[in-house]
Amino acid sequence: MQEITLNCGFGKIKGLCWGQGNKTKILALHGWLDNAASFYHLAPKLAAIGYEVIAIDFAGHGHSDHRAEGHFTHFIDFILDIQDVINELKWQKPILLGHSMGGAMALMYASTCPDKIEKLIIIENIGPVPPYEKGSAASNLKQALNQWKNHTTEHKNYYPNIEKALEARQKVTPMEPETLKPMVERGLKKTEKGYHWRTDKRLRLRSLFRFTEEMVQDLLLADKPKTLLILAYPYTYALSYPTVEERIKKLNPQQYSKLKGHHHLHMDKAQQVFDILAPFILEKNDE
């Protein structure tokens, strides 16, 4: 595993690389408030079968730069970062592997540029959520304006050590501490007051804009590379909306697998996820 730094339009994107120099490339995209180390358990397995895997920290996550002061943190902007990263790496047709929010970004980029992506793997996501609901435009915007007006980037909560931060994260991401620890460690910054999360606090604010369900399903219907969808069952909180089955039908992945577990399948079920996706990525597209 090696640390990498890439120069993108907004600043520096940091990340982790496994299997550097291997011929076939995989760009791994993490979920909201996670970071590149969420692939700490899965990526080495992919590197061992001949893939170079680069997992980036999205802007405002992990060790990457935050957006400039006074700027917004629209999730749609992460697609620009994906484009910048692929261009900076000079990769030709990599595989996109995305978990949760990273899965949504991978789907949206691959639907826009299907000729630039070899295959698409989505874990625990079927497009942006929650979608805009008719009749809520004014109230959504008002709530967002109020949050942005009153927000601060000042850190107020500190942990005396990594273990206490790990315990706090386990409450919202239940899994064994040794599985979760690499991602927690990468997400922390040590100061004289203790440890605080590196994540840009603006990422927690309500978005000024949301996709409609119609727009999401337009993307799902668009031409895209050969696609693998992996979801946990029973459905987790990440898929707690009424159009899940309709979205799956519209996505129409070439392979759809269900795996009993929690939202972070690629972490606490890394071997099982690898067993599903390895045959998919090794298969030639013309077969």
DSSP 33: T
* C-beta of residue 151 within 8 angstroms of C-beta of residue 205: yes
CA distance 167 to 159: 10
Q: Let me know if 100 is a catalytic residue.
A: yes
> How many Å separate Cα 180 from the centre of its chain?
16
Cα dihedral sign, 275-234-226-79: negative
Tokens encoding 77 = 């902007």
DSSP 85: H
Q: Which of 46, 53, 65, 44 is nearest to 21 (CA)?
A: 53
Catalytic residue among 38, 100, 111, 207: 100
How is 125-176 classified by DSSP, letter by letter? -SSSSSPB-TT-HHHHHHHHHHHHHH--------BSSHHHHHHHHHHHS-S-
Active site residues: 100
